[in-house]
Amino acid sequence: MAKAVFLDRDETLNPDPGYINDPALFELFPWVAAELARLKKAGFLLIVVSNQSGLARGLIQWKNLIAIHEKLNAILQQQGNVTIDDFAICSHIPDDLCECRKPKPKLILDAATRHQIDLSQSFMIGDRKSDFEAGKAAHLKKSFLINPGDEPSFKAAIKEILETSLI
């Protein structure tokens, strides 16, 4: 079975000016590509799990979200020779009470089924309590709650994942 690192997107991988709907506005934090390349080299699948309520609110169009993710992968490929393996998206608003919105684990569990992932050898990194709780609810090896847009806490999580996976 595969192992994976599940990643929140906004404020974990990129700055979030609020409901990014234009790929031209998307930027990656400068430290992300190299760190994700380290995970990929260690054999991890990289899966973004992201609540994108802007879709339901009409603030983001699906075609633009797809273009944003294509740009994310293009930047990662250019800067670190790495790409995201899958994007698991919840398009609902919190009031919809759906089953896929983090902190519920459905996005993670569905991706694990699609990619035959061993959750007990996988991790979650995110900047919100809902990210952390989704990882815990999915029974991942460990969930990391990092400071939004914070290079040291992101790198510390990657370092711990790499060290833990060697044990």
What percentage of the chain has pLDDT greater than the value 90? 97
User: pLDDT for 56-93, tens place per residue?
Assistant: 999 999 999 999 999 999 999 999 999 999 999 999 99
pTM of this prediction exceeds 0.85: yes
CA 128/CA 125 separation, integer angstroms: 9
The pLDDT-based confidence of 49 (bands split at 50, 70, 90) is very high
Whether 156 is covered by a domain: the verdict is: yes
The pLDDT-based confidence of 165 (bands split at 50, 70, 90) is confident
How many domains would you assign to the chain?
1
pLDDT reported for residue 100:
96
pLDDT reported for residue 81:
97
* Catalytic status, residue 150: no
The pLDDT-based confidence of 167 (bands split at 50, 70, 90) is low
CA 20/CA 16 separation, integer angstroms: 7
Give the type of residue at 18. G
User: For residue 94, what are its two tokens?
Assistant: 């919190």
Check 10, 85, 127, 131 and give the catalytic one. Answer: 10
Whether 97 is covered by a domain: the verdict is: yes
Using alpha carbons, select from 128, 129, 131, 124 the residue that is nearest to residue 157. 124
Whether 41 is covered by a domain: the verdict is: no
Q: Are strands 44-51 and 142-145 parallel, antiparallel or unpaired?
A: unpaired
Q: Dihedral sign, CA of 98, 149, 44, 36?
A: positive
Whether 1 is covered by a domain: the verdict is: no
Mean pLDDT of 80-108: 96
Domain containing residue 70: 6-36+46-165
CA 89/CA 87 separation, integer angstroms: 6
Whether 100 is covered by a domain: the verdict is: yes
* Catalytic status, residue 8: yes
Domain harbouring 133, CATH code:
3.40.50.1000
